[in-house]
Amino acid sequence: MLSFYVHIPYCIKRCGYCDFNTYTPNELQDGASLEIVSNDYIDAVLLELDAAPTDQVPTIFFGGGTPSLLPAKDLGRVVAAIKARNGLTTDCEITLEANPDSVTDEKLQGYLAAGFNRISFGMQSAKPHVLAVLDRTHNPVNVKRAVDMARAAGFKSISVDLIYGTPGESLEDWRATVTEALSLDIDHISAYALIVETGTKLAAQIKRGDLSMPNDDLMADMYLLVDQMCNEAGLDWYELSNWAKPGHECVHNIAYWKSANWWGLGPGAHSHIDKKRFWNVKHPTAYKQKLFAQQSPIVDSELLTDEQLHDEAIMLAIRMRTGLALDLLSDAAQTRILQYQNSGHLNLIDKHLQLTAQGRLIADRLVQEALG
């Protein structure tokens, strides 16, 4: 089996907190439109696809950037090409990351016809003052509009991304955001703590003292609140930052967390095949140039040692509800980590360590205990 990630490196505007490998059309070519900078992008992606293995495909995830900026006929060419050369499993999950502002009924119908069955909207917050600090362009009203349109069009699985811990966001603001998200017709929530990435506008604002990050106690309260509210609404946690109704867990992300094989198509995309990792040249223009010159876009690779694979399996498994198999740990690590049962940070279920909500707050520390 082989999962595919397809990177779409375009956004209309860069959000102040985001350091993803994405570009506005103007950054790529002075004064150019999205149509101009992206017109031959899919041709390059299809050339890269020729180098991938031909195993059957259980999941495809179009991420970005903002994949929903591209028309369904463009993204559909990639889905069709993967289907023709690899074959898709009957229940293949095909996800589109979307900005609530950039979808229309007609576009959504097109994505469904192209094979997409899961959509994830970047909602982030329901509070205009939080969205303003995040430097988001979308109007909060559009999230409900987009979710309802996606459901009416026929999407079987709908998710929203949220961010907590934005400067100036109170616990009550966050409660209002989660309440609003849970009032939508959705099946899945991802909630990420805001990370201040070096080099972003947000990092500069914090450095200047214009904004300040919330303290760790508030962040912890925000995490516990979203966990509790999701549980009450029938969305169970299945990974530290992800909650879903039964049967709506993101199969693609689970493949990453289980270290399955995946191929990342597009600039800066990473791939993982057996014990090998490799990644592409970062800039979209360099990526296209390489492929149109019949060269590989891969810039570097690493072969993971058995020890690295073992440590990574521990780090990933501890993040998941299915938990970490106790017998993966050394005797000393088992003794150390089992003490956290007494403090209410984890439970031992069927010889697997499963973190409680309190345990998830200190997941990094527990990973250190498990590795040591």
Ligand X SMILES: C[S@@+](CC[C@H](N)C(=O)[O-])C[C@H]1O[C@@H](n2cnc3c(N)ncnc32)[C@H](O)[C@@H]1O
Gap between the Cα atoms of 215 and 155, Å rounded: 38
Residue placing its CB nearer to ligand SF4 in the complex, 197 or 274: 197
Q: What does DSSP assign to residue 13?
A: S
Closest-by-Cβ residue to ligand SF4 is 18
Query: How would you class 288 by CB atoms within 10 Å of its CB: exposed for 0-12, middle for 13-18, buried for 19 or more?
Result: buried
- Residue ranges in the chain assigned as alpha helix (H): 25-28, 34-38, 41-49, 72-86, 105-113, 128-134, 141-153, 171-183, 201-208, 216-232, 251-257, 284-292, 306-318, 331-342, 357-361, 363-371
How many CB atoms within 10 Å of residue 347? 14
How far is it, in rounded angstroms, from Cα 306 to Cα 332? 20
Q: Is residue 186 a contact residue for ligand SF4 (CB under 6 A)?
A: no
Q: How far is the CB of 258 from ligand X (least distance, A)?
A: 21
Residue 37 interacts with ligand SF4 (CB under 6 A): yes or no? no
Please tell me whether residue 125 binds ligand SF4 under the rule CB under 6 A.
no
Smallest gap, in angstroms, from Cβ of residue 295 to ligand X? 27
Residue 163 within binding range of ligand X, rule CB under 6 A: yes
Residue 43 structure tokens? 């041709």
Pick out residues in 190-229 that bind ligand X (CB under 6 A). 192, 194-195, 197
Q: Can you tell me which of 3, 99, 159, 177 binds ligand SF4, judged by CB under 6 A?
A: 99
Tokens of residue 259, six digits: 């270290």
Euclidean distance between CA atoms 310 and 236, whole angstroms: 27
Shortest spacing between CB 281 and ligand SF4, in angstroms: 19
Nearer to ligand X, 251 or 353 (CB): 251
The CA distance from 85 to 113, in Å, is 19
Options 99, 253, 271, 280; binder of ligand X; rule CB under 6 A = 99
Q: Residue 20 or 156: which CB sits closer to ligand X? A: 20
Least distance between ligand X and beta carbon 310 (Å): 29
Does position 40 interact with ligand X (CB under 6 A)? The reply is no
CB 64, min distance to ligand X, A: 5
Q: Least Å distance between CB 122 and ligand SF4?
A: 5
Cα–Cα distance for residue pair 253/61, rounded to 1 Å: 9
d(C-alpha 185, C-alpha 233), whole Å: 12
Are 236 and 246 contacting, i.e. CB atoms less than 8 angstroms apart? yes
Considering the rule CB under 6 A, would residue 66 count as an interface residue with ligand SF4?
yes
- Residues of this chain that interact with ligand X (CB under 6 A) are 17-18, 20, 63-64, 66, 97, 99, 122, 124, 161, 163, 192, 194-195, 197
- Residues of this chain that interact with ligand SF4 (CB under 6 A) are 11, 14-15, 18, 20, 22, 64-66, 99, 122
